[in-house]
Structure 1
Amino acid sequence: MARYKHIDTNPRFLPIDLSRQLLPGTFEHALNHLLDHEMDLSNLDARFRNDDTGAPAYPPALLLKVILFGYSRGIVSSRAIERACREQVTFIALCGDHAPHFTTIADFVSTLGEDISRIFSQVLFICDRQGLIGREMFAIDGVKLPSNASKSKSGTRADFERQVEKLEAAAQAMLARHQHADKSSIEAGLEAKAAQRVASLEREAAQIRQWLSAHPEERRGSKGSVRKSNRTDGDSAKMATSKGVIQGYAGVAAVDGKHQVIVEAQAHGTGSEQELLMPMVEAIHGLITDDSILTADAGYHSEANLKALDAMGVNALIADNNMRSRDERFATQDRHKQQPDPLYNKSAPDDGKRLYQARHFSYDPKHKTCICPAGKKLYRTGSNCRINGYAAIKFQGAQRDCLPCTHRDKCLRTPDKTKTRQVAIFLGKAVAESHTDRMKRRIDSPQGRSLYGRRLGIMEPVFGNLRHNKKLNRFTLRGRIRVDVQWKLFCLVHNIEKLAHHGYAQ
């Protein structure tokens, strides 16, 4: 019978040279060389006060090594990183057999703050020095990720006030029931559970009251509108995604088209992508040249953004919501879309009701008058209106004509609520061309379609690497500053991988 050597997968002692575990061409080798020989981390020395007294601290380079290498392997938990520094050879080689405590790792990440921007800029400078940034095309896009916050604890101040009133009323009702009940007929265990429930309701109500006193003002958007606040993470926001509504942050990245290097990364607690375009453009404005082209999808399109880009002299291609409907290549796209599930289709059912359209109203261009289908004359409410780049005249019916009219069901969508009908008569294209009109003409040209088509190949590999390979499926920290640090750390991993793949430090 054949005999084989015993394979011991758990040897006690191994003669290992730790420096030889970091093989040239790998991510860990590039990371080790970068932080030991290229990076200036002197600004991180200010956080230590142990020159004369106190224990020696872990070098910031060591902490960055194990954190970034952990992120590259999808390990985000500080406890898991500490365990890996004791058990995995590559982690041991990076930290020199010094396993930092998980509280040290967590505190380092949470307090990086603005220092992460300086570290990101230094890595970006090295990428530029290695020739990885072409400055020909920059693509901007974002990904919405859940945060370490409870979606059920979101709302306006009015929502929270109603919620606390319900909690207090429920607690009082439970107390009243037990006071009137015969205590002899209530088991001791049930009575204790009821008391715990009342205490829980009162405790939650007290927490909401405390939050309301600490936040006397509503959270406002960029245009002054009221936004829902979250009592777990006040900087996060509710965002609509293809998977439903999440409570989280939008991680935005600007990517160079030559080698998909991330040149800027920001995390924001808002689902409105239009607000995020200009901060990204201003951050990368130093990299943009006269020959550079900036691309972004329809989520970042607005007349204000296009006007600001034109004022800055930035050559951009930003799609609008109707770009694909104007492209003959997407004429058959509807047949490939998934049909809505009738069990979960929440759209209003079609009741077959057909309302009067603008074409059913008689407009006299000579006298600028309008007659409704019932034969009543409408009065003019606006003569020089512009709607989506088209000149229009607005008309509205009089209450004395509309209220007793027998055509209300055919003229008004909600005849029980709306008193009079309004209609806009379009006169054609406005004389003054808007920035949106010029952008449509540029992006619909053969050259514009060809250039804009490159955007998908620039952005999607980056997000695929971060989401799938690095297992970035949620942010684990709270607060915009800390989430921004975590988003930049993942983007740093992506950029250092680019350096390693192109022969850096070999």
Structure 2
Amino acid sequence: MAYNFISCSDGSFLPRQDLRGWLPPQHLCWQVLKVVGELDLSEFLRSYRADGQGAAAYPPQVLLALVLYCYCKGVRSSRRIEAACLDDVGCRIITGNQHIDHATVARFLRRHRDGMKALFVQVLALCAQRGLVDLAAVAVDGSPMQAAAARSTNRSLHALETMIADGEAEVDQLMGDMDAPAAAEDSTWHTAAGSCLRRLSRLGDRLARARMARDKLHERVLPSAGEIRIKVEAAERMVARAVQRLADVTAAQQQRLADYARRSLQDQAAGRRRATGRPPVAIEAKTKVVRQQARLARAQAGLHHALNPRPIPSAAARASLTDPASRLMLGKHGGYVQGYNVQIACSRNQILLAIELHDNPSDTTALVPVIRRAQHNCATAGLTADVEAWLADSGYASTANFTALADLPLLVSLTKEYDQTRATTPRSQDVPAGHRDMAARLASTEGKQLYARRGALVEPGFAQLFQRFGRRLHHRGTSDVDAEIKLLGIVHNLNKIFRHDARPKAA
């Protein structure tokens, strides 16, 4: 059996079968089709039935080529892609003159989120095969992108709790109204019941979004995995010390009781009475033992809290009702935007080695995940060479990052950008202890020369992304937005491939 795909064969609508005369060989349409033919789409095909049963679907390679072609031209809206299938010759060639509607395009992107993420590494491998990836230096940077949500939809924890309580009370009231008995022929009751059902549907959607926003506020105040591990290790050490101290004082008191019992037996054998003095108190009544038991209980409670942190969001914390995963963060050109922090790792010629979402307006905790993801992508794409220098600006400077990446040739600015190339260096006593090794590395001639490449590597990468796609995201939720930015990264790297393939080859 075979897949039940709609036929999108070339040329069914043309006066002749050969389509190559409609567009020149160097046109973007043919470049996209060629690259899609080099990709492994097994991840996409896995979600289709291979027994030929079910309704016919468009082939995933056709939809993927259509999406990549339109994105390369800056067309990202599914409705505009639908319109392009009518008036863009490249789209008509890709689809075989099929009019693909916007809902099909939107469902394809949502259905194949994981496939799009895996496709990023395949395109990076194609860049590597063409010799476009240079790992002499890799720069990491982040920039906000505006979410598909307005700032006015942000609510505090108190407002969300009030909204949830009021909504639940209204749902109970509506359910009670619908349960009221009525005659079957009473048209007024049926009209009111229909209105209640519509209201219940809207309330259910609003309650679901309010609960998601409330949960997101609690999730954001949770410490990171590294912070939890550090706190758990410290709490375990305190518990171990408390256990040891309790064992020591208990053993000492047991020894006193045993000594007293031995002396009492000796006195009785010798015919002496009360010569051994006042007997020691019982173990459970000994002050030191009780104090150490209380200390152990506090240490165990601290360990429980470290293992199960439940901090309370501050009164200033806000979450969006429209897209709870988005954050209020400083805009690139001033002010605040409701958006996502997008992180990229760029090599020479702005080839993206990684493009990731970071759930924090601050870049500090993004450095380790982005570098590890870039390393994973390079290894998967067959790039075995070591990166000679990882470069990042002062927004990533922290002792935790320097410790976690101590095995890498890392250069992270500790001051403003222009200060790194100056001849003068800060005094060692002005630099925190955890930053002194990095300061010495940056102060060397080689360190200054390497760090001077940071801006030229990564800043044009963001400029090219935003020039083609703008700063606004179209999807909502972490998973959908992550797949969306992966698609932007795929198209960005594909354009590097297209320009490389279009260059005249040396004789």
TM-score, normalization by structure 1: 0.64
Task: Specify the SS of the correspondent of 2:473.
Answer: coil
CA deviation profile, 1:8-49 (whole Å, cap 9, x unmatched): xxxx9976843344544444322210112x111022112223
Asked whether the equivalents of residues 239 and 246 of structure 1 are also in contact (C-alpha less than 8 Å), the reply is yes
Distance 1:459 1:214, change over 3 A: closer
Report the counterpart of residue 500 of structure 1 in structure 2.
Answer: 498
Deviation, 1:162, is 5.8
Deviation, 1:295, is 0.7
Structure 2: how far apart are the matches of 1:314 and 1:222?
A: 29
Structure 2: how far apart are the matches of 1:455 and 1:269?
A: 24
Segments of 5+ residues of structure 1 without an aligned counterpart are 1-11, 169-200, 332-387, 391-427
Structure 2: how far apart are the matches of 1:19 and 1:295?
A: 46
Deviation, 1:206, is 8.3
Structure 2: how far apart are the matches of 1:491 and 1:252?
A: 11
Report the counterpart of residue 314 of structure 1 in structure 2.
Answer: 408
Distance 1:435 1:51, change over 3 A: same
Asked whether the equivalents of residues 237 and 247 of structure 1 are also in contact (C-alpha less than 8 Å), the reply is yes
> Following superposition of structure 1 onto structure 2, how do residues 32-47 of structure 1 map, counting pairs within 5 Å?
32-36=33-37, 38-47=38-47
Report the counterpart of residue 463 of structure 2 in structure 1.
Answer: 464
- Code of the aligned partner of 1:51: D
Structure 2: how far apart are the matches of 1:238 and 1:211?
A: 17
Report the counterpart of residue 485 of structure 2 in structure 1.
Answer: 487
Report the counterpart of residue 287 of structure 2 in structure 1.
Answer: none
Structure 2: how far apart are the matches of 1:330 and 1:429?
A: 13
Report the counterpart of residue 183 of structure 2 in structure 1.
Answer: none
> Following superposition of structure 1 onto structure 2, how do residues 122-201 of structure 1 map, counting pairs within 5 Å?
122-161=122-161
Deviation, 1:293, is 0.7
Report the counterpart of residue 175 of structure 2 in structure 1.
Answer: none
Task: Specify the SS of the correspondent of 1:135.
Answer: coil
Structure 1: how far apart are the matches of 2:65 and 2:340?
A: 26
Structure 1: how far apart are the matches of 2:455 and 2:129?
A: 26
Distance 1:435 1:121, change over 3 A: same
Report the counterpart of residue 390 of structure 2 in structure 1.
Answer: 294
2:363 to 263, 273, 281: 273
Asked whether the equivalents of residues 268 and 480 of structure 1 are also in contact (C-alpha less than 8 Å), the reply is no
> Following superposition of structure 1 onto structure 2, how do residues 315-354 of structure 1 map, counting pairs within 5 Å?
315-322=409-416, 324-325=418-419, 328=422
Distance 1:41 1:204, change over 3 A: closer
- Code of the aligned partner of 1:157: L
Larger radius of gyration: 2
Task: Specify the SS of the correspondent of 1:265.
Answer: strand
Task: Specify the SS of the correspondent of 1:18.
Answer: coil
Q: State the number of aligned residues.
A: 364
> Following superposition of structure 1 onto structure 2, how do residues 399-438 of structure 1 map, counting pairs within 5 Å?
434-438=433-437
Distance 1:155 1:260, change over 3 A: same
Report the counterpart of residue 84 of structure 1 in structure 2.
Answer: 84
Report the counterpart of residue 29 of structure 1 in structure 2.
Answer: 30
Structure having the larger proportion of residues in strand:
1
Distance 1:233 1:87, change over 3 A: same
CA deviation profile, 1:400-438 (whole Å, cap 9, x unmatched): xxxxxxxxxxxxxxxxxxxxxxxxxxxx579xx844111
Structure 2: how far apart are the matches of 1:42 and 1:483?
A: 23
Deviation, 1:140, is 1.1
Structure 2: how far apart are the matches of 1:301 and 1:213?
A: 35
Moved more, 452-461 or 78-87: 452-461
Q: CA RMSD in A?
A: 3.5
TM-score, normalization by structure 2: 0.64
Structure having the larger proportion of residues in helix:
2
Deviation, 1:131, is 0.8
CA deviation profile, 1:267-316 (whole Å, cap 9, x unmatched): 23421211221111111223574452111111222111111110xx1111
Asked whether the equivalents of residues 210 and 321 of structure 2 are also in contact (C-alpha less than 8 Å), the reply is no
1:243 to 327, 334, 338: 334
Corresponding position: 1:223 with 2:317: no
Structure 2: how far apart are the matches of 1:297 and 1:266?
A: 17
